[in-house]
Amino acid sequence: MHRGSLVTALASWLDARAHGGVWIVRMEDLDEPRCVPGAADNILDTLTRLGLHSDEPIVWQSRRHALYEQALASLTTNGRVYPCGCTRREIADSLTRVHARHSTLAYPGTCRDGLHGKTARAWRLRVPDGDAAHMHFEDRWMGSHTQDLATEVGDFVLKRADGQWAYQLAVVVDDRLQGITDIVRGADLLDSTARQIYLQACLGAPTPRYLHVPLVMADDGEKLSKQNGAAPLSLDTPDAVLAALKEAASHLGLPAALADVSHRNDFYAAATLAWQAQHAR
């Protein structure tokens, strides 16, 4: 975990506590090529040092392939999913030609009416056209948002060419099965929300409330992440833990008075009240 992931963890924990809910840790470890051995255990150890404990047993997405397969089969039976034989290069070439016509940069629907002799590589969810493609939602932090799935996204992948499950499908299936009512996450995932809301409707799942918190940025102006060398949290002492929590709280716009708290438990009590005052709805 780095400073950015701490901000998201703290925000979601505070939101659960402020609303009398439960806080759930889920390991989204589906992208096997990018999973570093020992990283998940390190994350759990860091959460323990911070005093953030999951209120329910931890769910590991890497152990839930059968559930995602069932969801894909259901969508396929209902005619919502189709196989796609396009390579990345072919899609890029199609988008270049579309761009030349000053039209959409969304997936152009090449395989919507069949593979035309190609081999199936991925599976895509068919999005609606026209007004039905307009997905509107209210974000509890970012406000009102609308995305046109047809023109801004196009039919999106649920199962990749390498056999890996797409993030969009996995989280929607898990949110439904875990009874998630509120999702608190980083603003980099705001763009995924409309797709997930549409997929929820396709699967007959309820739509949770969403709150996307501002990202922590690196010195170069990019999102702080492991990919750009974000330093892991150093939490060797209680003072270091408290300092990290106070910095995260400051990023979330919580009162400056939290800086005067001298104990972790006191910090959480005061921060929960502050969050409740600012995000009670």
- Residues annotated within the binding site for Zn(2+) are 84, 86, 107, 111
List, as residue ranges, the binding site for ATP: 226
Between CA 27 and CA 173, with CA 107 as vertex, the angle to 5 degrees is 30
Best CA proximity match to 68, nearest among 88, 60, 210: 60
- In the numeric block, the tokens 């034989």 are attached to 85
17: helix, strand or coil: helix
Best CA proximity match to 6, nearest among 43, 39, 40: 43
Cα dihedral angle (233, 237, 239, 243), rounded to 10 degrees?
A: 0
DSSP code of residue 231: P
Take residue 258 and report the two structure tokens written for it: 């939290």
List, as residue ranges, the binding site for L-glutamate: 28, 167, 185
User: Is residue 186 within 8 Å of 8, Cβ to Cβ?
Assistant: yes
- In the numeric block, the tokens 């069932």 are attached to 70
List, as residue ranges, the binding site: 28, 84, 86, 107, 111, 167, 185, 226
